[in-house]
Amino acid sequence: MNHPFRLIQKILLAGLFFSCTGLQGLHAQQRLVLDLERTIALANDSSLESFRTQNMYLSGYWEYRTYKANRLPSLTLDLTPAQYNRDITKRYDSGSNLDVYRTQQSFYAYGGLSVRQNLDLTGGTFYLESNLAYMRSFGANSATQLTSVPIRLGYSQSLVGYNPFKWERRIEPLKYERVKKEFLYNVEKVSETATNYFFSLAMAQAEYNLAKDNLASTDTLYRIGQQRHRIAAISQADLLTLKLDRVNAQNTLRNKASDLKRAMFSLASFLNLDKNTQIELQLPSRPGMIEIPVDEALSWGRSNNPQLLELKQNVLEAQRNVDKTKKESRFNASVNASVGFNQVADNFGDVYHKPMQQDLVAVSVSIPLLDWGVRKGRYNMARNNLNVVKISARQDEISIEEEVIMTVSDFNIQQQLIASAEEALDLSVLAYHETKQRFIIGKADINSLTLSLNRQQQAQRNYISALQSYWLNYYKIRRLTLFDFAAKLSLSDRFDFNGGKLVK
């Protein structure tokens, strides 16, 4: 029986809230109660940033799938179903030893099937081919011919050149591992952003509630001051000060209501909710103590941080460029060898009859004789760029490690600050109520009351700020290390990346 009453009570409170903030007439607006955990879940499920993060992962996933597909045999069908040609072309007449123009009319058709397999170790390619071609000439000397290659097996290889397959085998798996870790990294980044929006609204709500309480308090004190002024218990200056406090409290409440509306709109927009959604927050309670060893955080950061994986990828790509330019600066040699059968005939019945053996061996060599140092310059640029990339990678690695160390240190300290901020808030509330009662009975002046109120408001702000810093550092550590120290579990263990599906 208590549930309907509580619901009516919440509706009445919500109506009072809307009237105070100047939001009358919005009775059909959605009202949502959020805690920090649900806010983060909504952000990672519905926010535009989460959609961008998922699509970035899927792009990397399909790039890796393409790389894996290129390692498998490929089957290709090449067709020229019909090619008709009628023109005047230049031909050589051996009888008159002259070039003459002749009319030509012909029909041509071709079909070929080929299987290719790249070999990562050597950088060569095996191929298996079969094709059939048909040609018919029209005119005075009409003729029909078919030619076939029933089967041909071959291999092409660059003897001293650059092997891209070898480098792809080293770089592409690392790239995909980085993409997976980067997805988790971005998930935690969304959690950080959601935490920021959450506590910005929480601070705005706290400021609004303080301003509302302050207005009620100043109004009460002003009325008490009027009564005491009639009996000459306080001076006219003190009464005017109380009236000024009430006017300032009214103005402050209006400003805080505007700030609250703006913070609520920002959180609703980030969560991809309706912009008029009325959000009420529940602050998280004081978290339990979690001691995070710096060495353990560094270890997980070195193995999981996608930024460090990207640095390794950059070094490998720079080494690949050095290898490529170095080998291209020398002479190039390649070989292409194949063995198979072919035949030519006037009809389809004979084109596959007793095919003749077809052998092909080709060796090509390209030797740079004079290029004015172009190849050498490219090699030196690639080598110097490798040195720059290595130095930059080391600097970035040190910066990331420093960030992990400082964030963990701040997190461990922040847990103690939350306890102190909570105690200070409780004391400030008691002190203000005590000072207020002493003012009512005439044992405290206005300055003491104002100072006590300011201390209570500052303690409230400090407590929310301490909670915000704690949770921001918590999710930042998760982002930098991709490890949940509360559950003692690597974040990658919570996701299934197979098939491009992101399943928690």
What confidence tens digit (pLDDT) does each residue in 306-330 have?
999 999 999 999 998 988 888 777 7
Is 19 inside a domain boundary? no
Specify whether 289 is located in the same domain as 411: yes
Is 204 inside a domain boundary? yes
Specify whether 271 is located in the same domain as 172: yes
Q: Which stretch of 51-55, 120-124, 246-250, 431-435 has the lowest confidence by average pLDDT?
A: 120-124
- Whether 253 has a pLDDT exceeding 60, the answer reads yes
- Whether 10 has a pLDDT exceeding 60, the answer reads no
Is 324 inside a domain boundary? no
Q: What is the CATH number of the domain that holds 451?
A: 1.20.1600.10
Specify whether 360 is located in the same domain as 401: no
- Whether 225 has a pLDDT exceeding 90, the answer reads no
Kindly indicate the confidence band of residue 281, based on its pLDDT and cuts at 50, 70 and 90: confident
Amino acid 29: pLDDT: 60
Helix (H, G, I), strand (E, B), or coil: what is residue 26?
coil
Is 358 inside a domain boundary? yes
Specify whether 97 is located in the same domain as 228: no
* Tally of structural domains, the chain: 2
Over residues 97-108, mean pLDDT: 84
Amino acid 497: pLDDT: 65
Over residues 406-431, mean pLDDT: 87
The per-residue pLDDT for range 343-383, each reduced to its tens digit, is 888 888 788 888 887 777 877 777 777 667 777 788 888 88
Specify whether 362 is located in the same domain as 239: no
Q: Is the dihedral of CA 160, 166, 172, 175 positive or negative?
A: negative
Amino acid 14: pLDDT: 39
**Exposure of 225 in the CB half-sphere (CA atoms within 13 A):** 23
Distances (CA, A) of 255 to 19, 76, 245, 451: 15, 70, 15, 21
* φ/ψ bin of 31: left (φ > 0), alpha (ψ from -120 to 50), beta (otherwise): beta
**Stronger pLDDT, 402 or 160, i.e. the higher one:** 402
Using CB atoms within 10 Å of the CB of residue 143, give its burial: 0 to 12 exposed, 13 to 18 middle, 19+ buried: exposed
Is 27 inside a domain boundary? no
- Whether 72 has a pLDDT exceeding 90, the answer reads no
Amino acid 197: pLDDT: 93
Q: How far apart are CA 78 and CA 340, in angstroms?
A: 19
Kindly indicate the confidence band of residue 190, based on its pLDDT and cuts at 50, 70 and 90: very high
DSSP 357: E
Amino acid 332: pLDDT: 74
Specify whether 108 is located in the same domain as 173: no
Torsion of CA 449, 454, 460, 463, to 10 degrees: -120
Phi, psi angles (nearest 5°) of residue 63: -65, -40
Amino acid 315: pLDDT: 93
- Whether 423 has a pLDDT exceeding 50, the answer reads yes
Specify whether 470 is located in the same domain as 386: yes
Residue 429's nearest CA partner among 410, 451, 457, 387 is 457
Beta-ladder partners of 469: none
Is 15 inside a domain boundary? no
Is 376 inside a domain boundary? no
Is 485 inside a domain boundary? yes
Specify whether 278 is located in the same domain as 147: no
* Owning domain of residue 142: 78-119+124-161+332-367
Beta-strand pair 98-118/74-93: antiparallel
Q: Which stretch of 1-5, 68-72, 267-271 has the lowest confidence by average pLDDT?
A: 1-5
The model carries a pTM of 0.74
Specify whether 155 is located in the same domain as 210: no
Q: Which stretch of 26-35, 114-123, 141-150, 158-167 has the lowest confidence by average pLDDT?
A: 26-35
Specify whether 454 is located in the same domain as 412: yes
Specify whether 180 is located in the same domain as 233: yes
Helix (H, G, I), strand (E, B), or coil: what is residue 97?
coil
Amino acid 503: pLDDT: 60
| Residue labelled with tokens 């506590």 | 199
Specify whether 235 is located in the same domain as 306: yes
Percent helix / strand / coil, the chain, rounded to 5:
60, 20, 20
